[in-house]
Amino acid sequence: MKIARVIGRVVLSKKDGNLPDGFLLIASPLCRSEIVSGKCAGSGVSSEQPNLVVFDALGARQGDLISYVEGAEATAPFDSPAAVDAYNVGIVDFYNYNRNL
Amino acid sequence: MLKQEMQIAKIVGNMVMTHAHSSVSGNALFLCQPIDENGAECGGIIVAISPFGGGVGSRVLISTDGSAAREYVGDKHSPIRNSAICVLDD
């Protein structure tokens, strides 16, 4: 599970039957320096990692911090096989980074 | 490519999510920083559950096996992937 910032949304007019119903968010993963400094990428895209589209069933808004999971575990919450690569596990309220560890 | 192996990591913080998947409630979420053999940080921060008592400041072994994490959580529909499966002594 990694932390990312929601920077946009994707709306599909037509979709594959295997894609379950829900929101699709554009998320920009936070690199370590952003998490450490707490100065997360509010608006722009500053981390080196590419943005990704995350399936979301919780209703995260733009600017929220979410924690997403990739791979086979992204399809675990669905009963039927789902064409989902990244799943939004939860909306992060806050996190503590202990600097002197 | 997703990393599929176990990593030594140190737990550097924790995270709170009130609005999350139902299987996450009741499990503490920790920010884990993968480290190599002489303690230097390598790789990005991973969020993992720690069912075996690893707390902030302890060094743990992070596994990316989702089926093990689903067993610890007790929900076969849980999207949790990383879990701290043991706490290193030294």
Examine the pLDDT at A99 and tell me if it is beyond 80.
no
Would an 8 Å CB–CB cutoff place A85 in contact with chain B?
no
Which of the residues in chain B have pLDDT under 70?
1-4
Nearest to B74, CA basis, from B87, B83, B64: B83
CATH number of the CATH domain containing B50: 2.40.50.220
Q: Which domain holds residue B12?
A: 6-16+26-88
What CA–CA distance (Å, rounded) separates B15 from B31? Answer: 7
CATH class of A2-10+21-92: mainly beta
- Taking the CA of residue A16 and the nearest CA in chain B, the distance in Å comes to 22
Q: Is residue B81 part of a domain?
A: yes
State pLDDT tens for residues A31-55: 888 888 876 545 555 567 889 999 9
Q: Is residue B10 part of a domain?
A: yes
| pLDDT for the residue B12 | 93
Nearest to A89, CA basis, from B3, B78, B44: B78
Nearest to A74, CA basis, from A46, A92, A55: A55
Question: Structurally, how many domains does chain B consist of?
Answer: 1
Residues 9-48 of B with CB under 8 A from A: 10-21, 24, 29, 31, 33, 41, 44-48
Full-prediction pTM beyond 0.90? no
